[in-house]
Amino acid sequence: KNQVEQSPQSLIILEGKNCTLQCNYTVSPFSNLRWYKQDTGRGPVSLTIMTFSENTKSNGRYTATLDADTKQSSLHITASQLSDSASYICVVSALERANNLFFGTGTRLTVIP
Amino acid sequence: DADVTQTPRNRITKTGKRIMLECSQTKGHDRMYWYRQDPGLGLRLIYYSFDVKDINKGEISDGYSVSRQAQAKFSLSLESAIPNQTALYFCATSVVTGTGSTGELFFGEGSRLTVL
């Protein structure tokens, strides 16, 4: 069964600290994995995409990793800011399927001053 | 102006009423989607459309219907709303990648529906 699991469900950190969010998946055949950021009351916005051949990709203070062998991805946030408070959603895409997106339930990050 | 626009943004209605949520896009994408989001359950697919003549049920289509009036417009209807359809609804668009998988999703700002 194709599944995407994220951990933790929620996280509270102090401003300026680092954190890492996890995404484990069983989707096959794998095409790519995206991390989305969803601010409260807004639609999700893509942060980064990871394909099979990529291990690490950075987008400013956000760094995503992918281990295709263990089917795990992480999103590391460095020097957190209050504006990082949001839900982070992991979405895995399968190859050649009509309905081929599988969503995690998200990690709710709260950054406090 | 937003690339994906949803109307209304907020709606309160009563059980049994018919409700339509509308979505329009200026991105020129063929693929459009309707999702609902509930706390703890994440985003779940209601219906999707790969072009004007193609409509497909998602994982939770019961109680919903859709209409793809044009490439740019995709509407979601609740024929007889019930309280457990209270949720945040999102429209999204995408392209298809060269490998046949779905590209980046572009979401609207959401429509919050409350059914009393």
Judge whether B54 and B105 are in contact, CB under 8 Å.
no
CB-CB under 8 Å, B44 with A103: yes
Contact A52, A12 (CB under 8 A): no
Q: Which of A45, A90, A93 to mutate to test the interface with B (most CBs of B within 10 A)?
A: A93
> Where is pLDDT greater, at B99 or B67?
B67
Which chain B residues contact residue A107 at CB under 8 A?
Answer: none
pLDDT of residue B1: 62
- Place A98 in a pLDDT band, splitting at 50, 70 and 90: low
Is B96 a residue whose pLDDT tops 90? no
> Cα dihedral sign for B28, B111, B37, B66?
negative
- A101 neighbors A93 (Cβ within 8 angstroms): yes
For B61-72, what is the mean pLDDT? 95
